[in-house]
Amino acid sequence: MHEMAVCNELLAQVRASAVQHGARSVATITVRIGALSGVEPDLLERAFTIARAGDYTDQARLVIETIGVRIRCRACGNENDAAANRLLCSACGGYTVDLVGGDELLLASIELQGIPDAERSNQGENAQGENSYV
């Protein structure tokens, strides 16, 4: 299950960000996963419950946003959504297409808790006294 390796790398980046900003902990981690990324959201979520143990992230919540497949047809230039297993242009039926989106695995945002006041005033504060970084 390579999702555990993905989780470990993701959490290493998140923990480094928490240290950089002097945060006490991480509340929420939001990731965007494309349908063609090779990462299964359910497996990533299961791996996350194990991998999050440790400094800063032991109580973190994972939010997964899925991204559909988007293609651009080389024949007619149309850009449209497509099924992961059917990369055909919806306008002309062409099969010579370029992938525009859907293979991403992105760390979209991190919600940090317990950032010192000096850091908070430099970055902006949300309603709960926590900050989100993209």
Reply yes or no on whether the pLDDT at 132 is more than 50.
Answer: no
What are 56-115's pLDDT values in tens digits? 999 999 999 999 999 999 999 999 999 999 999 999 999 999 999 999 999 999 999 998
Sequence-distant (6+) residues with CB within 8 A of 69 are 34, 35, 36, 81, 82, 83, 84, 87, 99, 101, 102
Note whether 12 and 95 are within 8 A (CB): no
Instruction: Please state, for a pLDDT cut of 90, what percent of the chain lies above it.
Output: 82
Where in the chain are the domains?
A: 3-67+104-133
Top CATH class of 3-67+104-133 equals alpha beta
Residue 116's pLDDT is 79
DSSP class per residue in the chain: -THHHHHHHHHHHHHHHHHHTT-SEEEEEEEEEETTSS--HHHHHHHHHHHT-STTTTT-EEEEEEE-EEEEETTT--EEEEBTTB---TTT----EEEEES--EEEEEEEEE---HHHHHHH---TTS-EEE-
Half-sphere exposure for 88 (CA within 13 Å, toward CB): 7
